[in-house]
Structure 1
Amino acid sequence: MSDKPDLAEVTNFDKTKLKKTDTQEKNPLPSKETIEQEKAAS
């Protein structure tokens, strides 16, 4: 066996079979203003 993976399946993959999904950020990072307020509070 070689060290390289077989990419034949990847090159033949049909993207049109994929479903469209909407991603939502579950844990967004705080804004720069929020970080500055917390630094000033401590």
Structure 2
Amino acid sequence: MADKPDLSEVEQFDHRKLRKTNTEEKNTLPSKETIDQEKEACKKN
């Protein structure tokens, strides 16, 4: 049965061994000022 994945390792996995991690959200979007500066730079070229 090649179409079915082998789930034996998943069934034995112990989620209690995982460590707790803290995630930090980062704002990767540019600010309005940055966008305006880039628009002005493009208009000058």
User: What TM-score comes out, normalization by structure 1 length?
Assistant: 0.51
Question: Which runs of 5 or more structure 1 residues have no equivalent in the other structure?
Answer: 30-42
**Percent of aligned positions that are identical:** 66
Partner of 1:3: 3
CA distance in 1, matches of 2:28, 2:11: 34
Structure 1 23/2 Cα, relative in aligned 2: closer, same or farther at 3 Å? same
Question: Which runs of 5 or more structure 2 residues have no equivalent in the other structure?
Answer: 30-45
Rg larger for: 2
Structure 1 residue ranges, 4+ long, deviating more than 4 angstroms after superposition: none
User: What TM-score comes out, normalization by structure 2 length?
Assistant: 0.49
SS at 2:19's partner residue?
A: coil
